[in-house]
Structure 1
Amino acid sequence: MTDLLSLTRTDRTAEDLVLSAGEILARYDHLTQDSGNVSWLVRTQQGDLFVKTAGTDAPPPPGGAVPYLDHAGRVGLLRSAVELARSVDHPALARLRTVIETADGPALVYDRAPGELIGVPSVQRGDPTSPYRRFATASAELRLAVLDQLLDAHVALESAGWVAGDLYDGCLMVDLASGRLTLIDLDTYRCGASTNDMGRMFGASRFMAPEEFELGAPLDARTTVFTLGRLVHHFGTGLTEDLSQFCGGEDAADVIARATRPARSERFGTVGELAAAWSAARLSSG
């Protein structure tokens, strides 16, 4: 069997490489997501690994969703993900083990993240057995522990210059037994402040800041603050969106209300400021 962790380059395609490495536990392609990327979960002699690629330089099969970007664009985002992983060391970030240059682009090899993916297709959000519902209705203690990790990881990311993009519940892997969070698929994060060059940016509209819909608008730490606030609001209220039901208490609810104000100038200026206010509110609530 091929040892993925010992390679840095191969003339083989990514799929051939992964198939030779062990037992395929899952394959993610146009049937499960619309990015155009192709990924695998593979059981190897070195442990369970997640391998992410930009797919092939070809149109998706008939019936599949149209990818957001062409192959070159997807490769560019994967190289940005590598830069992010190598610039920030935090326990809530997926562990990148190696990058293998294959015949169809880079293959990013990660340790398998523990737990379950919280984001599910919209038709499954009402299912009480889904990870989405089970996390949203978990104990306040567990939800707050996960949200603490989410904010702390983004303080570290901000310190390295990263601004969130396409951050939503599909980036959250949570072990619902231990409360451990792993963040995945941060490919569209940008290093440094920028401007909206797309109009409607990548992302789930439920969590996106107003400026992510406005061509030419600034994208910076206040954008990250808004999205983090929306995630905390959504799950901290048990999906009700009613801050009077927020699991962290009234002071923490006030912090989240400020983080998610539509006017950028009324939000916290940095993730660090948001996290400090959140920590103080959590302490005040006992």
Structure 2
Amino acid sequence: MFLEKKEVARHNFTKTSGAPVTYSFDEVTFQLQEQHDFAWLRSLGKVFCVFDQQDSGNICFGVEKDGEKKFVKYAGARPLDFSGNPQEAVSRLVAAIPLYAALNHRHLIQLKDHFRTANGYAAVFEWFEGECLHSHWSFAGQAKYNHPDSPFYKYKHLPLEKRLESLDAIFEFHTFVEAQGYVAVDFYDGSILYNFSHDITKICDIDFYRKVPAVNDMGENFWGATRSKAPEEFILGAPINAQTNVFTMGAIAFGLLGGEMDHSFAKWEAGKPLYEVVLRAVSEDRELRYDNVSTFKGFWDEAKGL
């Protein structure tokens, strides 16, 4: 599966009042806050799954036509968990489309098509047979960490070597992002898909990545998950740059190989040399971090050989 979720503040908005509206398409049933026209969805094929518990304003579908599966991300409707303006969600999705061309990479989900509908916008991606490491719709709260069927739990119980290979894919992609003149915004474990049968890692949902120079224009509610955000991603006006991404890469490494926000060596699984590299990456003072992701990855690769 391939999906996205935004972890953002939910205050300062009110949801549309009234009973939810139920929709049924082929194998799936879902609810929205109000009526919406999905006639356009029929032309894309049979709907076999839906991801409707997003607070980003997007609702996502798995569709199949002529034996080919695709993933559809749509903005313009009002999902039950969405408390914003649907047209703002549409604008965000439209603005994200060029990113998938600019940052096209073997570790990134591929955009196949995109188009306007009567009341929204749809982006059609390749389907990837993987599982999202932050599957909040199925494994909320502690179930993410403790339930044996949780993708995050299964990933954390992979052999160390497989997780190191997975992190290599993540670091390689973000070294490429940096080389293209972009910074990653809102990258967290919900942006990581893993195929447990073939040990393949893919990145999804780069909708908020930005061209440099970039600044935090939202303050503490800047896009992203608290467990992965650098200190400057909570400060209005702070620059968001390569050193910000270094922190994010370190935070992801601690999430997948250690104690997540607990940066103690006792929770770390990959040895002292790699621990010291990652600990520097998540320095509160950005000047103590590596200058960029490329340099971080160089030290990471060297430490792996020790």
TM-score range, shorter chain: 0.7 to 0.9
Number of aligned residues: 264
Q: Which runs of 5+ in 1 are unaligned?
A: 1-12
AA matched with 1:27: V
Q: Do structure 1's residue 23 and structure 2's residue 46 form an aligned pair?
A: yes
Q: Deviations over 1:79-121 (max 9, x none)?
A: 3332111012311100111112222233111011221111132
Return the match for 1:225 from 232, 246, 259: 246
The answer to whether the 8 Å contact 2:76/2:121 transfers is no
Shift of 1:244: 4.4
Distance change >3 Å, CA 14–CA 194, structure 1 → 2: farther
The answer to whether the 8 Å contact 2:76/2:87 transfers is no
AA matched with 1:252: L
Alpha-carbon distance between aligned partners in 1 of 2:55 and 2:233, rounded to the nearest angstrom: 19
* Residues 66-105 of structure 1 aligned to structure 2 (within 5 Å): 66-67=82-83, 69-105=84-120
* Residues 150-189 of structure 1 aligned to structure 2 (within 5 Å): 150-189=170-209
- Superposition RMSD in Å: 1.9
The corresponding residue for 1:147 is 167
Alpha-carbon distance between aligned partners in 2 of 1:251 and 1:130, rounded to the nearest angstrom: 30
Return the match for 1:196 from 216, 226, 231: 216
* Residues 1-286 of structure 1 aligned to structure 2 (within 5 Å): 15-29=38-52, 32-45=53-66, 47-56=68-77, 60=78, 64-67=80-83, 69-121=84-136, 122-123=140-141, 124-125=143-144, 126-199=146-219, 200-237=221-258, 241-284=263-306
Alpha-carbon distance between aligned partners in 2 of 1:66 and 1:25, rounded to the nearest angstrom: 23
The answer to whether the 8 Å contact 1:93/1:184 transfers is yes
Alpha-carbon distance between aligned partners in 1 of 2:104 and 2:269, rounded to the nearest angstrom: 29
AA matched with 1:102: T
Give the TM-score normalised by structure 2: 0.81
The answer to whether the 8 Å contact 1:40/1:51 transfers is yes
AA matched with 1:103: A
Alpha-carbon distance between aligned partners in 1 of 2:296 and 2:38, rounded to the nearest angstrom: 42
Q: Deviations over 1:148-192 (max 9, x none)?
A: 000000011111122111111111110123221111111111111
Structure 1 stretches of at least 4 aligned residues deviating more than 4 Å after TM superposition: 238-241
The answer to whether the 8 Å contact 2:54/2:82 transfers is no
SS in 2 for 1:226: helix
AA matched with 2:236: L
Q: Which runs of 5+ in 2 are unaligned?
A: 1-35
Shift of 1:136: 1.1
The corresponding residue for 1:5 is none
Alpha-carbon distance between aligned partners in 2 of 1:96 and 1:66, rounded to the nearest angstrom: 24
SS in 2 for 1:97: strand
